Chains A and B, each alone.
Chain A
Amino acid sequence: MPSFTSVEYAAILLSLKVAFTATLVSLPFGFGVAYLMTYCRFRGKVALDVIVNLPLTLPPVVIGYLLLILLGQKGFIGQHLLQPLGIRLIFTWKAAVIATAVVGFPLLVRSIRIGMETIDPRIIQAARTLGAGWLDAMISVIIPLSLRGVIAGSALMFARALGEFGATIIVAGNIPGVTQTIPLAIYEYASSPNGDAMAMMLCLVSVVISVIVLLFHEYLSRRMIRVD
Chain B
Amino acid sequence: MYPLYKLPAMFAVAAGLFLLAATPLCAATISVFAAASLKEVINELADEYAKKNPAMKFIKNYGASGQLAKQVEQGAPADIFISANTEWMEYLKNKKLVDTASIGIFTYNTLVFAGMPGKASSMQDLIKLERIAIGSPKSVPAGEYAMEAFMKAGLDKQLEKKLVMAKDVRECLMYAERGEVDGAFVYRTDALQVAKNVKILFTVPQDLYPRVNYPLALTASGAKKTEAAAFFAFLKTSEAKAVLTKYGFQVR
A: residues with CB less than 8 A from B are: 68, 72-74, 90-91, 173-178, 180, 188-189, 191-195
B: residues with CB less than 8 A from A are: 64, 66-67, 69-70, 73, 88, 91, 131, 133, 136, 138-139, 160-167, 175, 178-181
Is chain A's binding surface mostly helix, strand, loop or mixed? loop
Closest 3 CB pairs of A and B: A192-B138, A73-B179, A191-B67
> Which one of A74, A173, A194 contacts B165 once the chains associate, using CB atoms below 8 Å?
A173
* Cα–Cα distance between A167 and B148 once the two chains are bound (Å): 31
A189 to chain B: which residues have CB within 8 Å?
A: 138
A174 to chain B: which residues have CB within 8 Å?
A: 136, 164-167
Given contacts A178-B161, A191-B67, contact A91 B181 (CB under 8 A): yes
> Which one of A74, A178, A188, A191 contacts B178 once the chains associate, using CB atoms below 8 Å?
A74
Are A175's CB and B88's CB within 8 A?
A: no
B64 to chain A: which residues have CB within 8 Å?
A: 191
* Cα–Cα distance between A68 and B171 once the two chains are bound (Å): 14
Are B73's CB and A193's CB within 8 A?
A: yes
Are B180's CB and A73's CB within 8 A?
A: yes
A68 to chain B: which residues have CB within 8 Å?
A: 178, 180
A184 — nearest CB in chain B belongs to which residue? Answer: B165
* Cα–Cα distance between A110 and B133 once the two chains are bound (Å): 39
Are A173's CB and B175's CB within 8 A?
A: yes
A73 — nearest CB in chain B belongs to which residue? Answer: B179
Apart from A173-B180, A192-B136, 11 more pairs, CB < 8 Å: A73-B178, A173-B133, A173-B165, A175-B161, A189-B138, A191-B139, A192-B139, A193-B69, A193-B88, A193-B139, A195-B138
**Which among A73, A90, A191, A193 has the highest number of chain B CB atoms within 10 Å?**
A193
A174 — nearest CB in chain B belongs to which residue? Answer: B165
* Cα–Cα distance between A177 and B69 once the two chains are bound (Å): 27
> Which one of A73, A173, A177 contacts B161 once the chains associate, using CB atoms below 8 Å?
A177
> Which one of A72, A91, A191, A194 contacts B131 once the chains associate, using CB atoms below 8 Å?
A91
- Report the minimum CB–CB distance from A201 to chain B (whole Å): 15
- Report the minimum CB–CB distance from A120 to chain B (whole Å): 51
> Which one of A73, A90, A175, A191 contacts B66 once the chains associate, using CB atoms below 8 Å?
A191
A73 to chain B: which residues have CB within 8 Å?
A: 178-180
* Cα–Cα distance between A176 and B162 once the two chains are bound (Å): 9
Are A72's CB and B175's CB within 8 A?
A: no
Are A176's CB and B163's CB within 8 A?
A: yes
Are B138's CB and A194's CB within 8 A?
A: yes
Are A188's CB and B138's CB within 8 A?
A: yes
A175 to chain B: which residues have CB within 8 Å?
A: 131, 161-165
